[in-house]
A and B are shown apart, each in its own frame.
Chain A
């Protein structure tokens, strides 16, 4: 998915950042973006995200989440849980942590889990 474009940073980002892909989140009413530098960060920690299906699943988790949680820690961060793509099991989840700014949400991290930690408060959807 090569949809790089220049995007004027908003809501405190304050710089020009290359956006790899953006998704409209109906829950937050904001555009959630995956910046190129954050994507490289994710790849440096979880190299298997290089698989194009993984990137698509990550954005699909934001577009079509199973549940959205609040991590109740400093900084407004929400986590989107969506279905993990093959080779993962259908019950496995892809978790995408998003930093919520004034006008946009910025993807911070992503990885796969089997369940939602109990301390995370479910904002929307049902706890898998």
Chain B
């Protein structure tokens, strides 16, 4: 990104909400975006987190924690207010307190193990797709008005 592009960006008005409650509401209302193509899952074992990233996630973003579950952060684009990412942090803590996330994490671990065996890699790939789908479904359930 060149300097001119950066300064042009900085002159744009900020649309993302300035307080967490409003931002979380704004993000929850856009959870349906997870169904759109282009989203990818980035697991991070060291940070004990899973990141879901949308196709337009390169610009500056601001994160809003969910009041009911502060371990889940919704990332909105600073300029458009669009939901561009979901950070699921402290996975072990989340799995300990929530049985649904515990099942999802177990599926993730099994996938990782299968992926190490060459003949079973294709099973792991299918399993990974299923886990990804399940993670998206769970994220979509975060809001009652997900349609």
List A residues at the B interface (Cβ < 8 Å). 41, 44-48, 50-51, 71, 73-74, 86-89, 91-92, 97, 108-109, 111-115, 117-119
| Chain B residue with the shortest CB-CB distance to A75 | B48
Instruction: Choose among A48, A73, A117, A118 the residue that contacts B60 (Cβ–Cβ < 8 A).
Output: A48
How far apart sit A88 and B10, CA to CA, in the bound complex (Å)?
9
How far apart sit A92 and B18, CA to CA, in the bound complex (Å)?
8
Total A-B pairs, Cβ < 8 A: 74
Also in contact, A88 and B78, with CB within 8 A (given A50-B1, A111-B87, A114-B64): yes
How far apart sit A87 and B15, CA to CA, in the bound complex (Å)?
12
Instruction: Choose among A45, A89, A108 the residue that contacts B14 (Cβ–Cβ < 8 A).
Output: A89
Interface mask (B41-71 → A, CB under 8 Å = 1, otherwise 0): 0101011010101000111111111000010
| Chain A residue with the shortest CB-CB distance to B12 | A87
B42 touching A45, Cβ below 8 Å = yes
Report the minimal beta-carbon distance from A96 to chain B, rounded to whole angstroms.
13
- Chief secondary structure at chain B's binding surface: mixed
Instruction: Choose among B42, B73, B92 the residue that contacts A44 (Cβ–Cβ < 8 A).
Output: B42
B47 touching A86, Cβ below 8 Å = no
Residues of chain A contacted by B44 (CB below 8 angstroms)? 41, 45
Apart from A47-B57, A91-B18, what are 6 other A-B pairs with CB-CB below 8 Å?
A: A41-B44, A87-B10, A111-B61, A112-B60, A114-B20, A115-B19
B90: CB under 8 A from chain A? Answer: yes
A sample of 13 inter-chain contacts (CB < 8 A) reads: A86-B10, A87-B9, A87-B12, A87-B60, A88-B60, A92-B62, A97-B47, A111-B63, A113-B64, A114-B23, A115-B19, A118-B70, A119-B70
